[in-house]
Amino acid sequence: METIGFMELNSIARGVEAADIVLKAAAVRMVFARSGCPGKYCLLFTGEVAAVQASLEAGRGVGGDHVVDACVIPRVHPQVIRAIYMSAVPERMGAVGVMEFFSVTASVYGADAAVKAADVDLLDVRLGTGIGGKSFVVLTGEVAAVTEAVRAGVNTPNARGMLVSSAVIPSPHPELLESLM
């Protein structure tokens, strides 16, 4: 597992500038740097813990008051990155859990905490594009595991105050499951 740095800015220009300094500050690799709704810019980068921390601080310096949120997550669970790209489909669907946040960063923290807390599969980590700058996480598994994962995900320190809502659906309709994939 790698360390990730994530930064969310409310300015595209400052976001592009922060992305440049993040890459120049230390030996990190950019996973993505892209605009989202409503005019936000998000950076996700990876590397060794010290390098990610140094790059994040350099990015914060450039971003200034435009930084909405930022985090470093050491040993991020590999499912988080796969779910951001919606590149994994579990063999079997069970109960469905959804966590919705005002902050894109809170979803990254929530997804990581959820998948580390219980035996669940992340289906999607949607980072603010086309949904008004909000974000959400969708996961599946046994009802008890999904319940525990959602509880852990919405109670991370970075998610406090950012939660819009959450739900656990014990027996989702098959058409709902299809729409989530």
- pLDDT tens for 20-50 read 999 999 999 998 888 877 788 989 899 999 9
The token duo for 26 is 């230390």
pLDDT of residue 181: 65
Name the CA radius of gyration of the chain, rounded: 16
Per-residue pLDDT of 94-109, as tens digits, reads: 899 999 998 888 888 8
Q: How confident is the model at residue 140 (pLDDT cuts 50, 70, 90)?
A: very high
Does this chain's domain 3-73 share its CATH topology with 78-180? Answer: yes
Residue 176: band (very low, low, confident or very high) from pLDDT cuts 50, 70, 90: confident
Query: What is the overall mean pLDDT for the chain?
Result: 88
Tell me what pLDDT residue 110 has.
93
The mean per-residue pLDDT over the stretch 117-140 comes to: 84
Which band of pLDDT confidence, cut at 50, 70 and 90, is reported for residue 90?
low
For residue 15, what are the contacts with CB-CB under 8 A and spacing of at least 6? Answer: 7, 9, 33, 35, 40, 41, 42, 43, 63, 66
Torsion from C-alpha of 160, 71, 41, 104, nearest 10 degrees = -30
Q: Domain extents for the chain?
A: 3-73, 78-180
% residues pLDDT > 70 (the chain): 92
> What is 78-180's CATH superfamily?
BMC (bacterial microcompartment) domain (3.30.70.1710)
pLDDT at 87: 56
pLDDT in tens, 149-161: 999 999 988 777 8
pLDDT of residue 161: 83
pLDDT value, residue 1:
52
Q: Are strands 3-9 and 40-47 parallel, antiparallel or unpaired?
A: antiparallel
- Distance from C-alpha of 110 to C-alpha of 169, rounded to nearest angstrom: 18
What's domain 3-73's architecture? 2-Layer Sandwich (3.30)
The predicted pLDDT at position 55 comes to 97
Token couple for 62: 């450039």
Tell me how crowded residue 57 is: count the other CB atoms within 10 A of its CB. Answer: 16
